[in-house]
Amino acid sequence: MRVQIAVTHLLGTGHLARALVLARAFQSKGHEVEVLSGGMPAPNLDRGDVTIKHLPALRSNGTNFSELLTDLGDIADASYLRSRRDRACQLLAAFEPDVLITELFPFGRRSLRAEFTAMLDTAAGMNRRPIVLSSIRDILAPPSKPAKAAQTLQTIVDYYDAVLVHSDPTATRLEVSWPVSDALSAKLQYTGYVAPSAPVPHPEQDGRGEILVSAGGGDVGTHLFRCAVEAATLRPDRTWRILVGGAKSAELIQSLKRMGSPAVIEPARPDFRQMLCHASASISMCGYNTTLDLLQTGVPAVIVPFDDGNEVEQTLRAQSLAQLDGIETLKTRDLTPQRLCDLLDTVTAAPRRDVGSYQFDGAARTLEIAEDLLDRRA
């Protein structure tokens, strides 16, 4: 089976990370996989030996996802977007997949609708049309207007065989963030969470007893890092380690170090998940992959959901996690060094969570669904 996954991450790297987990799952069973990546390079992610074909890169202008920038920081004009669209369709036609997976679209990436629609039309016109699947996380950005939900549904009806919801339905159903009609419900397939294998303890026990502060792989989280630096000054008896990701990490690290905190401040590390196994607590935002790290390791956690630009996805996810032992949430507007320290005391005193309560085999289940759909068509 030949599988092609089209993904464009614009701010953080979670979308690409999830696509790579899926790709490795297909590849581990002997299938040929190709990932079409339209976002900025993400060298910290584990790509294994997955083949990645790059489109001309895009990123959002901060949280303004309707304003797209090139890798040079220029506005992506019509010519640039057309070059991406043409490249994507050429790669699709050359690979001739049996299964085409679009990550997030059509539930998101509306600014790239022309690109994705051109790919879907190309797939529809092939001698052997591939099985077409939409791959979405547990929580989506809710549609701002009914017309957007209607347009998404029509695209699903016109082009897609199924919608893969990468969530455990006993924890979060799509209805929490998106209107689910009967027509959409008929297309939904819940896979469980798409997670890499649970991390094993760090061989050097790095992170033991530490407060690990992280914000994923994008250029976000400055306010969280600055607050943690000040909180570390209030609690110098603890070891605080602040892991800074994103393209501007070097500059931000130097800025944070100038604040004179006792915290260890360094670039994001590929062994972060292993460090969580030993940590006293985690302070982070609430992206999909971060959430899985917290659930898989059971580490006590203070969550500050990303809410810039009226973003609500992480807030909705955090609300569902706040019911669990050892997790406390803190809104950005309430974030202060003292409040952060108080909540750390609360989560570290709470009972440890059961790490076996949720389905984390979403990648394997995705593989089964794709194989089943392809077999039934044959």
Domains of the chain: 2-196+359-377 (3.40.50.2000), 210-349 (3.40.50.2000)
Residue 218: what pLDDT? 67
The highest-confidence range among 59-68, 180-189, 310-319, by mean pLDDT, is 180-189
Amino acid letter, residue 306? F
Name which of 170-179, 265-274, 307-316 the model is least confident about: 307-316
Tokens 């294994």 correspond to what residue? Answer: 48
Residue 2: what pLDDT? 98
208 contact partners, CB below 8 Å, separation of at least 6: 278, 279
Q: Of 48, 52, 12, nearest to 33 (Cα)?
A: 52
Average of per-residue pLDDT across 355-365: 90
- Give residue 21's pLDDT band: very low, low, confident or very high (50, 70, 90): very high
Average pLDDT, the chain: 94
The highest-confidence range among 164-173, 274-283, 319-328, by mean pLDDT, is 274-283
Q: Are strands 64-70 and 58-61 parallel, antiparallel or unpaired?
A: antiparallel
Average of per-residue pLDDT across 79-93: 98
pTM: 0.85
Residue 246: what pLDDT? 81
pLDDT at 66 over 80: yes
Tokens representing 277? 């196994």
Percentage of the chain exceeding pLDDT 70: 99
3-state secondary structure the chain: CEEEEEECCCCCCHHHHHHHHHHHHHHHCCCEEEEEECCCCCCCCCCCCCEEEECCCEEEECCEEEEEEECCCCECCHHHHHHHHHHHHHHHHHHCCCEEEEECCCCCCHHHHHHHHHHHHHHHCCCCCCEEEEEECCCCCCCCCHHHHHHHHHHHHHHCCEEEECCCCCCCCHHHCCCCCHHHHCCEEECCCECCCCCCCCCCCCCCCEEEEECCCCCCCHHHHHHHHHHHHHCCCCEEEEEECCCCHHHHHHHHHCCCCCCEEEECCCCHHHHHCCCCEEEECCCHHHHHHHHHHCCCEEECCCCHHHCCHHHHHHHHHCCCCCEEECCHHHCCHHHHHHHHHHHHHCCCCCCCCCCCEHHHHHHHHHHHHHHHHC
CB 190 within 8 A of CB 171: no
pLDDT at 282 over 90: yes
- Condensed to tens digits (0 to 9), the pLDDT of residues 179-237 reads 999 999 999 999 999 988 899 999 999 999 999 999 976 667 899 999 999 999 999 99
Whole-number Å distance between alpha carbons of 286 and 302:
10
